[in-house]
Amino acid sequence: MSSGVSRFTDLLRHRFVQGPVLWGLIGRLPLYLVSLALTLHLLDEGLSYAAAGLVLAAYTVGTAALGPVIARRIDRHGQVPMLVLTAVVHPVALAGAVYAASGPRLVLLALTFVAGGTIPPVSQVIRALWSTLPLSRDERSTAYSLESVFAELFVIGGPLLLSALMALGDSGTAVVVGGVLSGLGSLGLATTRASRQWVPESTARRDLLGALRSRLLLILLVLLALSALCLGVLNLALAAFVEENGSAGDVGFLFGASGIGGAVGGLWYGSRSGATPKGRQLPIACTAFTVAAAAPLLAWDFWSMAVAMAIQGSSIAPLTAILYDLVGSAALPGTVSEAFTWVLTATTMGGAVGSQLAGALIGRFGWSAGFVLGVLSGCCATVLAFAVSRRVVAVTEARLSRTAPTDPSALGLDT
């Protein structure tokens, strides 16, 4: 059994892992870039904050409305067709939105709706691969840990890439470049052997609920939403904190501290043995997440808050990796891509609710009220995790015992 960093290097030695990791990085780095750059472009074109907010809402609604539809097509017909289709439509729609920013509002809303709905499903596809490829339990755990580390890197790297593009051009150019990179990553992923040979399971019952027929998945989605609510308070709580203890530009540094902590936490968790069932690890990870969420309440100045954010960030990646792994096990046959699409929906909704509630509380009681809300959300997640732990262990262990053998040659994916 590998230990430490060698667990990651051993995983990356598999040829069928290298391609998805590389193209996944390229395709997902612009995720945070596009939304930020689009906001700047709309304001540069003279739209009001209210109008820009409406356009961004259309982008988000498009993602929520079309994402599950695309995922179901993947689960029925394979990954390649949807990866190629979205790789073309998404950047074209974004470019159209940039061009139409000063034109008729309905055209702009329609283009941003399509752009949001056709964001290449790179994350869903890769997480589905980690769930279904012939990996050992330790390798699968390491793969999901790597996903959680990448998630932190995207939060940091996207805005940095935006700054570089803005230095070379303007916000509209940044939007288009972001769309092209997303499409390039999606096309590259479609060419990998793992994606081309991924075979959808044909045993799924075709109905309106789809992946949501799994009760265990619903529980995990609630946990994901609660953890996202805890993190959703950060945008406003940190802004309010630096207003009292620093300057507005310091917010980015605090988020960077959280991202660094998250990357360290993900690497640490990924280096550990995966022998303990994830269902038993879940309540422990939720408890650590909740305790770490209270760290910002102890901050008294900017530097102590930076340390607190690094501590909080370090707890995020292990919990995320565990939840991703469990979602892959909880998904009913033939619904794994859709299940991971609902993960994105749950976290988006949880984060939005957290931001809204935090805004109301901070306005009345100050920045600390936002972090108190985050701790309360973490407590709810922890109670739920302890309540369902035994059921999670029983269901996931039963499903893992029916997975394919861990011999890559069985799928023509030999290393």
Measured CA to CA, the distance from residue 209 to residue 31 in angstroms comes to 28
Q: Does 100 or 32 have the greater pLDDT score?
A: 100
pLDDT beyond 60 at 221: yes
What's the whole-number mean pLDDT along residues 50-66? 83
pLDDT beyond 80 at 91: yes
Q: How confident is the model at residue 246 (pLDDT cuts 50, 70, 90)?
A: low
Task: Summarize pLDDT for 251-310 with one digit per residue, the tens.
Answer: 667 878 888 888 888 888 877 756 677 888 899 999 999 999 999 999 988 889 999 999
Q: How confident is the model at residue 406 (pLDDT cuts 50, 70, 90)?
A: very low
The domain spans of the chain are 1-200, 203-402
Write down the pLDDT at residue 275: 63
Token couple for 271: 């280096």
- Can you give the pTM of this predicted structure? 0.78
Number of other CB atoms surrounding residue 287 within 10 Å: 18
pLDDT beyond 60 at 412: no
According to the per-residue pLDDT averaged within each range, which of 109-113, 334-338, 347-351 is highest?
A: 109-113
Contact 358, 373 (CB under 8 A): yes
Average pLDDT of the residues of the chain: 83
Contact 297, 179 (CB under 8 A): no
Task: Check if 1-200 and 203-402 are the same fold.
Answer: yes
Inter-CA distances, 415 with 15, 268, 410, Å: 5, 26, 12
Q: Does 206 or 149 have the greater pLDDT score?
A: 149
pLDDT beyond 90 at 409: no
Token couple for 396: 């996931």
pLDDT beyond 50 at 146: yes
Write down the pLDDT at residue 269: 83
Q: How confident is the model at residue 405 (pLDDT cuts 50, 70, 90)?
A: very low
Q: Does 352 or 203 have the greater pLDDT score?
A: 352
CATH domain 1-200 topology: Growth Hormone; Chain: A; (1.20.1250)
pLDDT beyond 50 at 410: no
Q: How confident is the model at residue 197 (pLDDT cuts 50, 70, 90)?
A: confident
Give the DSSP letter string of 132-178: HSS--HHHHHHHHHHHHHHHHHHHHHHHHHHHHHHHHS-HHHHHHHH
Contact 75, 204 (CB under 8 A): yes
Measured CA to CA, the distance from residue 294 to residue 288 in angstroms comes to 10
What's the whole-number mean pLDDT along residues 48-75? 84
* Ranges 79-88, 297-306, 372-381: which has the least confidence: 297-306
Q: Find tokens 């290449």 and name the residue.
A: 120
Contacts of 243 (CB under 8 A, 6+ apart): 367
pLDDT beyond 50 at 1: no
Contact 223, 286 (CB under 8 A): yes
**pLDDT above 70 coverage of the chain, percent:** 89
pLDDT beyond 50 at 413: no
CATH 1.10.10.10 fits 203-402, yes or no: no
pLDDT beyond 50 at 94: yes
> For the purposes of burial, counting CB atoms within 10 Å of the CB of 363, is it exposed (0-12), middle (13-18) or buried (19 or more)?
exposed
